[in-house]
Chain A
């Protein structure tokens, strides 16, 4: 069995630690490779194979007409004009000037369609692949992905979110998002107040005390708490922790991304993916533009546009774009018709999304909305279709199952098909 094949097994669920142990033992026995050789060889393979995803979440429902589906020749377009992009034939709204330059790497879906017009429900649906239900708390896509492909040896959290987001549901502590409030600085309280020797002794005492409580009828509570503490300790001692701190980042990089929370969040996302995280989400609030849609999206896009474009260029320059899926979207679109307050209201029937990386062919548009933007004219893409396509980029089977607490088998998503055009 070649290393390569074994890595594949590793990615489909066998942990890397186990893999290293078996291979190194075998290699030692055969006397062919040194332990160190094996590890470094494998690290390279893994680096190549490891997939990850960045979700840029525009919270509140961004207007597709002010994004990537402008209607310059229709009254519904209001103040928004269209501009050319680096790909001839693709036009996007005029505020997205930086994004226009990287359109070769970006695929647009203009025919996203859904039924949920309530923020909470729609956000839940687009984060978990399911509509909310009282009986089960669905894991987020992030948790589902990390559960399947996160490298257990990486010491920083596999799921990170700049801003609040949905949790791991029944998948538990290991896949809960690590929420970052202030991107660019070390998370607070990552340095112990006592020296490392004493810190370790404390942890040892804690372990003994925990065992006593476990015996008193709280075994699984203790287990999950200990899991959390192990993760936290790993983070504290992790050499990768410095990924959170921008001190070593050149100033021009920060300028390119934008010196604001969203820009910094995107830069942090790239640094964390590089350091081994599997899923990073960066949220920008404020897209619920029931009034003054033009002024308000102007301001928001001035943050998102440079950050999104810089992220794609940066990932590409580092050779990470092929293995990193980037998705830019919100929970629904907005009404094509401008309301009397100069705003647009909730509109799940047609919205849009931008994707890049992860093997997606850039420079193309999937689907089309009608001339006035009021309905999907061509190639509707459902949430299920989107999820299946994302799974495809991450080389995960969307139908692979986990078990809910009540033993119900749950797929990542229950319906939908891969949007094949994205990859051809």
Chain B
């Protein structure tokens, strides 16, 4: 946690009287430096060149990605056998219906190596950023050179498309939000914090026509931006964690993600890192998705599809999808990319640590292939019966003699198969092979995925081979763990897979505007009802062209009028605002926390806290975790369905933590009263500080009435702070 508030306290202490007077009497403050705000802070620095990864490098990567001629060496190896696999056949039939087929996402070895090297480089950059997070941010991470003209152009196109849509349906768009509302909104969206009262006032007074674009630019360069979005992704992943133990990894994940975002690594790189991760719970944040589900392949496949593609393919886990085209086979083929990524305790680690590792060892690819192909005894016999005598002798079961590791690998299958030889003639007939049942012990050790038999859950099920439901690319069987995870990461992040870009664009748009292109943030896909598809298409296309540049996407969306409109609740008679207005949404736990810190300086420990604590850091962390638990919600939920809880209300109303700050001896209300300001100026400052806006006339009056009837003005204003903290508006991004 940062910003202990000392700076902002001193600012506000000096600042408000002057500004409020100016507001009240209508005097402009242009060219007037107030309080501790320096001219430098107030001046946006748009074209500063920085150390960030140049955009050109990215577009090179993009071209490489888009090259449709890339072919993977190993790719076709499994093709011939594939026809024998009944599951695949069926899946392929279904896939044949789809249009976007001719996908060749795999890379040549050379290209792959290049790509890896590139990843390594930007990974290093990300790590560096991580290490120096304590340093001042703008020095360390200055804004990147950006093609602002292109950003403006795309923002404009989006607004034009939305305007056409609104005109056609006769809806009048809401007016642009006031400067105050815009500033609060964009701060919450990028940095997760409230702007200080000084920033609000100053922003309102600036006559720079580009001031909104400049604020967006500056905030994108802050450390808080990276932190806020890292926390967002932490919530996306960990609120759905099926393994409770994973929660303790969430700070590690957040830190890792923050480094990625701060270095502006592209979304495809981040996705690939997460899907191909190995490493320790205590230090390798990129393993988050695997620990969240304790290495369970089916859960990871389901979550990867939901998070990175917005497709809820897990509905097809037990039956073909009811409303979509996905089949049960396709779900389990996706799960087949992950069976070898396992979680285990790091031997001897104390305190206990866990790691994600590849279990390729005892499940030799040939071994698994051998067992898998026994599902069809006839083709099994045909494959191995080299002398074509219609039976298998034991020698024939040793396909590649000579290599000792192969012999070893086949020792176990041969032993198992030998047991099928009921007549002891040292030969296996088709009838004997048909008796084969997957031994339970082997199944447990087998690092291949099996699709459960719904009618017999205790049976091993059908062995599955990896395939990606959005592409026809053939994939080798028996690939090692990292190989197959790299393949699926490549397929998911391929520019030819439109749903990767669309899922990200839809998610970010939904967070920023309160409403997305689809009714649900993570249930999109070809068969979902959609609004303004032309806008999503444009954004997704441009996002791909940017090299999945997350910052670029923020810049474009935040600069649209659609984002900058007034926030109005949805008309209950409608299902969508059609982007005529922004929908108010509830702040996430981290944002509420930051808002409290900004409003009250709540992270300066109160008197009670000083007595109790011994270790400041862990004490703070403990309280922060408690707070997080209390206010956290799953950010993939429809924001209209997120509601407050009684314990939250109890905390805001009655906790010592809040009230100690409001009523304490060092409260900011006392400081304000010491300034001998007018009642209106005090009210204005309190509103600015807590809600990030000035009160309107009626509010000033009702507060004045209230304070007059209070025991003392101090009590009256304390009650005002309490009421604003407990108001709907405080918890809402407006």
Shortest distance between the CB of B536 and any CB in chain A (Å) = 18
What residues of B have a CB within 8 angstroms of the CB of A210 in the complex?
Answer: 727-728
Considering the chains assembled together, what is the distance between the CA atoms of A186 and B584 in angstroms? 34
A117 adjacent to B318 (CB under 8 Å): yes
The complex places the Cα of A118 from the Cα of B663 at a distance, in Å, of 50
Within 8 A of B (CB), among A338-383: 339-340, 345-349, 374
Asked whether A190 is an interface residue with its Cβ less than 8 Å from the other chain, the reply is yes
A169 to B640, CA, bound (A): 10
Contact A189 B651 (CB under 8 A): yes
Report the minimal beta-carbon distance from A114 to chain B, rounded to whole angstroms: 11
**A86 on the interface (CB 8 Å rule)?**
no
Q: Per-residue 0/1 for A210-247: is the Cβ within 8 Å of any B Cβ (1 yes, 0 no)? A: 10110011111110111011011001100000000000
CA distance A113 to B684 in the complex (A): 63
B702 in contact (CB, < 8 A): yes
Instruction: Verify A221–B647 contact, CB threshold 8 A.
Output: no
The contact of B569 among A157, A179, A209, A220, by CB within 8 Å, is A220
Residue in A115, A134, A173, A339 with the greatest tally of chain B CB atoms within 10 Å: A134
Tell whether A205 is near chain B: CB-to-CB under 8 Å: yes
Question: Whole-angstrom distance from the CB of B724 to the nearest CB of chain A?
Answer: 7
Contact yes or no, A213 B649, CB < 8 A: no
Q: In the docked arrangement, what's the CA distance between A402 and B699, Å?
A: 39
Asked if A191 CB lies within 8 Å of chain B CBs, one says yes
| Residues in chain B near residue A336, CB distance under 8 A | 458
B144 within 8 A of partner (CB): no
**CB contact between B640 and one of A117, A135, A157, A405 (< 8 Å): that residue:** A405
A-side contacts of B663, CB under 8 Å: 193-194
Within 8 A of B (CB), among A136-194: 137, 157, 169-170, 172-173, 176, 178-179, 187-194
Q: Mark B677-699, 1 if CB is under 8 A from A, else 0.
A: 00000000000000000001011
Q: Is B474 an interface residue (CB 8 A)?
A: no
* Cross-chain contact A209 with B567 (CB below 8 angstroms): no
- A202, B723: Cβ atoms closer than 8 Å: yes
- Whether B722 is near chain A, meaning CB under 8 Å from some CB there, is yes
In chain B, residues 446-462, which have Cβ atoms closer than 8 Å to a Cβ of chain A?
A: 452, 454, 457-458
Contact A209 B650 (CB under 8 A): no
Q: Does B408 contact A (CB under 8 A)?
A: no
Q: How far is the CB of B159 from chain A (nearest CB, A)?
A: 21
A212, B696: Cβ atoms closer than 8 Å? yes
CB distance from A243 to the nearest CB of B (A): 15
| Interface 0/1 of B8-49, CB less than 8 Å to A | 000000000000000000000000000000000000000000
A318 is an interface residue with CB less than 8 A from chain B: no
Interchain CA distance A196-B437 in the complex, whole Å: 73
Across the interface, which residues of A come within 8 angstroms of B458, CB to CB?
335-337, 345, 347, 374
CB pair B720–A205 under 8 Å, yes or no, is yes
Inter-chain contacts of B720 with A (CB < 8 A)? 205
A169 to B642, CA, bound (A): 9
Q: Are A209 and B575 interface neighbours, CB within 8 A?
A: no
Interface residues of B in 318-372 (CB under 8 A from A): 318
CA distance A54 to B732 in the complex (A): 35
Whether B569 pairs with A218 at a CB distance below 8 angstroms is yes
Q: Are B650 and A335 in contact (CB under 8 A)?
A: no
**Which B-chain residue is minimally distant from A224 (CB atoms)?**
B643
The smallest C-beta distance from B238 to any residue of chain A, in angstroms, reads 14
Which of B90-98, B211-219, B588-596, B652-660 is the interface stretch? B652-660
Other-chain contact of A229, B581, B647, B710, B726 (Cβ < 8 Å): B726
- Cβ contact within 8 Å between A340 and B440: yes
B174 to chain A, nearest CB (A): 8
B residues less than 8 Å from A191 (CB atoms)? 654
A119 within 8 A of B: yes
Which of A135, A179, A228 makes the CB contact (< 8 A) with B644?
A: A228
Partner among B568, B641, B654 whose Cβ is within 8 Å of the Cβ of A170: B641
CB–CB B646/A232 < 8 A:
yes
Indicate if the CB atoms of B641 and A137 lie closer than 8 Å.
Answer: yes
**Residues of chain B lying within 8 A (CB to CB) of residue A134:** 312, 520, 522-523
B residues 381-422 touching A (CB-CB < 8 Å) = none
A208: Cβ under 8 A from any B Cβ: yes
Residue of A nearest to B317 (CB): A118
- Find out whether the CB atom of A217 lies under 8 angstroms from the CB atom of B649: no
Q: Are B457 and A347 in contact (CB under 8 A)?
A: yes
Nearest residue (CB) in A for B518 is: A134
Which B residues touch A347, using CB under 8 A? 457-458
Residue A36, interface by CB 8 Å: no
Number of chain B residues whose Cβ lies closer than 8 Å to a Cβ of chain A: 63
- Bound together, the chains give a CA A220 to CA B659 distance in angstroms of 28
Say yes or no: B647 contacts A179, CB within 8 Å: yes
| Contact between chains at B719 and A205 (CB < 8 Å) | yes
Min C-beta distance of B103 to chain A, whole Å: 26
In the complex, A345→B457 CA distance in Å? 9
* Set B457, B650, B659, B711: member contacting A346, Cβ < 8 A: B457
> In the assembled complex, how far is the CB of residue A270 from the closest CB belonging to chain B, in whole angstroms?
21
Please, how many angstroms separate the alpha-carbon atoms of A44 and B722 in the complex?
41
Q: In the docked arrangement, what's the CA distance between A229 and B722, Å?
A: 14
Q: Which of A191, A198, A205, A340 has the most CB of B within 10 A?
A: A205
Question: Which B residues lie within 8 Å of A236 (CB)?
Answer: 650, 653-654
| Cβ contacts under 8 Å, A157 to chain B | 646
In the bound complex, residues from chain A placing their C-beta under 8 Å from that of B457 are 117, 335, 345-349
Among B458, B522, B566, B653, the one with the most A-chain Cβ atoms within 10 Å of its Cβ is B653
Q: Tell me if A221 and B575 are in contact (CB < 8 A).
A: no
How far in angstroms is the closest Cβ of chain A from B296? 10
CA distance A196 to B503 in the complex (A): 51
Residue A29 lies at the interface, judged by CB distance under 8 Å to chain B: no
The chain A residue sitting closest to B528, CB to CB, is: A134
Residue of chain A at shortest CB distance from B181: A216
Q: Which of B575, B644, B699, B711 has the most CB of A within 10 A?
A: B644
* B619 located at the interface, meaning its Cβ lies under 8 Å from any Cβ of chain A in the complex: no
Whether B649 lies near A229 (C-beta < 8 A) is yes
A202 and B452 form a contact (CB under 8 A): no
A120-B650 in contact (CB<8A): no
The answer to whether A135 and B520 have CB atoms under 8 Å apart is yes
B69 CB to closest chain A CB, in angstroms?
37
**A201 contacts partner chain B, Cβ-Cβ < 8 Å:** yes
Question: Which of A179, A193, A220, A226 has the most C-beta atoms of chain B within 10 angstroms of its own C-beta?
Answer: A193
Are B727 and A213 in contact, with the CB atoms below 8 A? yes
Chain B positions within 8 Å of A206 at CB level: 722-723, 726-727
- Report the Cα distance A336→B650, complex, angstroms: 47
Q: Which chain B residues lie closer than 8 Å to A117 at the CB level?
A: 318, 452, 457
Docked pose: A210 CA to B726 CA in angstroms: 9
A251 at the interface (CB under 8 A from B): no
Bound CA–CA A326/B722 (angstroms): 42
Instruction: Please give, as numbers and ranges, the residues of chain B lying within 8 Å of A406 by CB-CB distance.
Output: 575
Distance, CA A232 to CA B645, complexed state (A): 9
B444 within 8 A of A: yes
Task: Decide: A189 near B655, CB < 8 A? Known: A117-B457, A340-B440, A345-B457.
Answer: yes
Further contacts, 8 of them, CB under 8 A, given A189-B655, A229-B653: A192-B653, A198-B715, A205-B723, A217-B584, A226-B728, A228-B643, A339-B440, A340-B444
The interface of chain A, by Cβ under 8 A from chain B, is: 115-120, 134-135, 137, 157, 169-170, 172-173, 176, 178-179, 187-194, 198, 201-202, 205-206, 208-210, 212-213, 216-222, 224-226, 228-229, 231-232, 235-236, 285, 335-337, 339-340, 345-349, 374, 405-406
Q: Nearest 4 A-B pairs (CB), nearest first?
A: A134-B523, A217-B568, A189-B650, A193-B659
The 24 sampled A-B contact pairs (Cβ below 8 Å) are A118-B298, A134-B522, A134-B523, A178-B646, A178-B647, A179-B645, A179-B647, A189-B655, A192-B654, A206-B727, A210-B728, A213-B729, A217-B567, A218-B569, A218-B732, A220-B569, A225-B728, A226-B728, A228-B649, A229-B649, A229-B726, A232-B653, A335-B457, A405-B640
Interfacial residues, chain B to chain A (CB-CB below 8 A)? 242, 244, 298, 312, 317-318, 440-441, 444, 452, 454, 457-458, 519-520, 522-523, 566-569, 572, 575, 581, 584, 637-638, 640-641, 643-647, 649-651, 653-656, 659, 663, 696, 698-699, 702, 706, 710-711, 715, 719-720, 722-724, 726-729, 731-732, 734
